[in-house]
Structure 1
Amino acid sequence: MTTAPDDARRDALLHQAIRELVECMDDTLPGTFEITKEGIVHDMRAPAGPHELTTLRVRKRLEKVMPDELVAHTGTPDVENQAEGILRHPDVMVIAEADMEVEGSFDPRALVAAIEVVSRSNPDNDWVSKMRDYPLLGVPVYVIFDPRTGSGAVFTDIHPTPSGPRYATRKEFVYGEDVTIGEWTIATQDLPRYA
């Protein structure tokens, strides 16, 4: 189905209005805000504890084994595809340092991998919503670490489906096993769990 120019313009204006609303809320309300096809996702996760420690340890372990031109980035900005109306903020983004030299949001197609640590307050955001959005954005590798269960999964091989692009390959792991993310293998021992 092709989108008429007026529809595309309306969608772009709507996305921009939602984006401006999210930016206003980011400064005043706790948690993080992202934009999906369904609307705004508000994750109330606490900024400390097992979630942040998992993010830190995964980032440090990846940076030890990746080439110097790649980073495991945990800051801002977000990744955004305005045409799809999606703005996401991965917990860890594997990206070339050169691809970070942009104004505004990162191009999601520049990511080597997006890594999420499941939030205790909104696990479906990582397991359902981002599972749909990341292949649509063209992110080739999506990894989930789940401190609720001490397990996770690596998703790769984007392929077309009637519902849109999806990952064809899912490799599950449990904490304590090594996990391969792209071309790099890291340990998952000593990753914290939610109490």
Structure 2
Amino acid sequence: MSEETLYRRLRAFRDTFREGFGSESEEVRWPEISQGQILMMMSSKARHQRVAHRLRTALEPQLAAGLALYVETDLEDPGLGILRVPDLAVVNADFEPTAADAMPPHDCHCIIEVVSRSNPANDYEGKLRDYPAMGIPHYLIVDPRDGTAVHYWAPTTRTGAPTYDNQQHYTFGDTVTVGDWKIDTSGLPRYDDEAPQ
């Protein structure tokens, strides 16, 4: 069975599963698909959303005409068998959705993920594998657990596996540069130790 055939079966099951169970659940978000598996994601908590909102507020006014900032929208590459739901995505405003009403990766300029306490490996491992494979030019991970951020750019496969050629590490308080955009992280809140995300 090809990667795309398996993906389409998982995609159909995901949509059926979501309609039958997840739409009434406040705890379950749209599942993601990667490496032939459906990945269940928990709904974002308030602290996670607060960080994402501040990032959106900082970034959106800087976008040139023709670009838009999407929040938690399906991003899929059926040929690679990948469907992700990024926290924030800078995309061409006039992109044509895929047949499954998702964003195609070739219209995406930047992905920003806010790390949750419950599953940090999803952002640092799974998505760090999938986003360069999809050709996403810039990937920014913002981690309120320890007040850090990492910007990855220039996707490549020259090492034999999809990765990014470059990375830059930041701490909250720094101004992060992503392409033509600058994000001041000094106002980003960190998670409280007492409240898991």
Q: TM-score, normalised by structure 2?
A: 0.87
Give 2:59's match in structure 1, choosing from 41, 44, 62.
62
TM-aligned CA deviation for residue 102 of structure 1: 5.8
1:112 is the counterpart of 2:109: yes
Residues 135-150 of structure 1: matches in 2 within 5 Å?
135-150=132-147
- Within-5 A mapping of 1:87-166: 87-99=83-95, 104-166=101-163
Kindly provide the amino acid, as one letter, of the partner of residue 81 in structure 1: D
Identity %: 32
The one-letter code matched in structure 2 to 1:99 is F
Distance in 2 of aligned mates of 1:106 and 1:42: 20
Choose from 158, 170, 178 the match for 1:173.
170
Displacement of 1:163 = 3.6
Unaligned runs of 5+ in 1: 1-6
Q: CA RMSD in A?
A: 1.7
Q: Specify the code of the residue in structure 2 equivalent to 1:50.
A: R
Quote the residue 1:4 is aligned against.
none
Question: Deviation at 1:38?
Answer: 4.7
Which position in structure 2 is the counterpart of 1:81?
Answer: 77
Mark the runs of 5 or more structure 2 residues left unpaired by the alignment: 23-27, 193-197
Q: Is the 1:132–1:166 Cα contact (8 Å) retained in structure 2? A: yes
How many residues end up aligned between the 2 structures?
A: 185
Distance 1:129 1:98 in 2: 28
Structure 1 position 60, deviation (Å): 1.4
